[in-house]
Amino acid sequence: MQRADIDWGVKNMTIRITAIQQSNSLPALAGMILMPVLLSCGVMASPSSANESARAEVVGIVAQIQRADYEGDRAALKRLHEQLAPFAKNQKFESRVLYWQGFALWRRAINGFNDKADATELQGDLQTALDEFDEATRIDRAFVDARVGALSCIGLLAYSVRHEDIPSPKTTELRARIRALWKELEAEAPDNPRFLWVEGPIFWNIPPQQGGGQPKAIETYEKGLKLIRTQKAVAGSSLDPSWGAPELLMSLAWSKLNQTTPEISAAEQNADSALNLVPYWHYVRDILLPQIREAKRKTELENANSPHFY
């Protein structure tokens, strides 16, 4: 503050005090004296208010990310990932912002596989998501869900790279990390429903003689669904992930359809249940459910044309 400003402030307050004294208004004088104190307190409280305001804004962006994921809006997922970037500098919730940034690109890649997007683009999204999950873990080692996201990203990267070059050293490196992280999460978070959702595809692709197989994958999804239905609801203002029920139902529907002996009715029931939770889920509504109903139609047609013996 300049000297002239100080002089003017003192002069102005002197004039007001004189006027108040003349009016014998002690309450007015007290109010004027307290005003700078109250203003000072407001300034001191502003960082907390700013944090709450920032948190509310992040919660809003996270809700948009989850909706964009279900809607298959890959452009929105990229845009919302970028919108979160400034909040990653806030140490109050840095790890959670990084998680949701990673989540946005992870799901952008998953939707990209369904849309047959360019492999290089998918790998770029997955690698960036993996880096963000890893950084969230570095900041908060106890934040298990960041490692769950990382495990899925590594698996999808290995899948994508394998299709380009099976004997690639990159594939070997990724598989080694999958095994290590999977073992770590099985020990630390065996009842995390989101881990069980990510673990299901691993079991699906492992032969039964090695502890995997289709029944084991389905059992894992069913366990995750049972667990998530018994967990307490997460407060709307929380940045901790609580998603999982729709995804587990979707995976059960896909598994029941694609297992060696399909269970079409069970697949349809699980897909319908997922849509009851998320009516705007593009993949289930526009891709998976039509596949199930087509399989159902073919089965009914085959049964109608098969000979019947009485």
pLDDT digits (tens, 9 = 90+) for 110-153: 999 999 999 999 999 999 999 999 999 999 999 999 999 999 99
Model pLDDT, residue 166:
61
The DSSP result for 26-73, as a single string, is HHHHHHHHHHHHHHHHHHHHHHHHHHHHHHHHHHHHHHHHHHHHHHT-
d(Cα 60, Cα 72) in Å, to the nearest integer?
Answer: 18
Count Cα neighbours of 160 within 13 Å in the Cβ-side half-sphere.
Answer: 23
pLDDT at residue 25 above 80? Answer: no
> Does residue 57 sit within a domain?
yes
What's the chain's Rg over C-alpha atoms?
28
pLDDT at residue 229 above 50? Answer: yes
> Does residue 91 sit within a domain?
yes
| DSSP-derived secondary structure letter, 165 | -
Which of 5-19, 118-132, 171-185 comes out lowest in average pLDDT? Answer: 5-19
Tokens of 73: 């809006």
CATH of residue 89's domain is 1.25.40
> Does residue 142 sit within a domain?
yes
> Does residue 308 sit within a domain?
no
**Closest of 34, 99, 86 to residue 57, by C-alpha:** 86
Question: Where does the pLDDT of residue 302 fall: very low under 50, low under 70, confident under 90, or very high at 90 and above?
Answer: confident
Model pLDDT, residue 47:
64
Look-up: residue for tokens 């047959």?
A: 116
pLDDT at residue 40 above 60? Answer: no
pLDDT at residue 209 above 60? Answer: yes
User: 280 phi and psi, to 5 degrees?
Assistant: -100, 20
> Does residue 278 sit within a domain?
no
Model pLDDT, residue 167:
66
Model pLDDT, residue 20:
37
User: 79 phi and psi, to 5 degrees?
Assistant: -65, -45
H/E stretch holding 3: helix 3-22
> Does residue 164 sit within a domain?
yes
pLDDT at residue 42 above 90? Answer: no
> Does residue 306 sit within a domain?
no
User: 200 phi and psi, to 5 degrees?
Assistant: -50, -50
Model pLDDT, residue 38:
37
Mean pLDDT throughout 84-99? Answer: 95
Model pLDDT, residue 37:
39
Please provide the average confidence, as pLDDT, over all residues in the chain.
86
Query: Sign of the C-alpha dihedral, residues 165, 166, 172, 175?
Result: positive
pLDDT at residue 31 above 90? Answer: no
pLDDT at residue 51 above 50? Answer: yes
> Does residue 14 sit within a domain?
no
Residue type, 36: P
Query: Sign of the C-alpha dihedral, residues 91, 95, 97, 101?
Result: positive
Mean pLDDT throughout 158-186? Answer: 85
Total of domains in the chain = 1
Model pLDDT, residue 272:
98
Helix, strand, coil distribution of the chain in percent, nearest 5: 80, 0, 20
* Domain housing 93: 52-189
pLDDT at residue 12 above 70? Answer: no
Burial class (CB in 10 A: 0-12, 13-18, 19+), 106: buried
Look-up: residue for tokens 């952008």?
A: 108
d(Cα 116, Cα 112) in Å, to the nearest integer?
Answer: 6
Residue 9: CB atoms within 10 A of its CB come to: 11
Question: Where does the pLDDT of residue 161 fall: very low under 50, low under 70, confident under 90, or very high at 90 and above?
Answer: confident
Residue 201: CB atoms within 10 A of its CB come to: 19
pLDDT in tens, 99-110: 999 999 999 999
Query: Sign of the C-alpha dihedral, residues 226, 229, 232, 237?
Result: positive
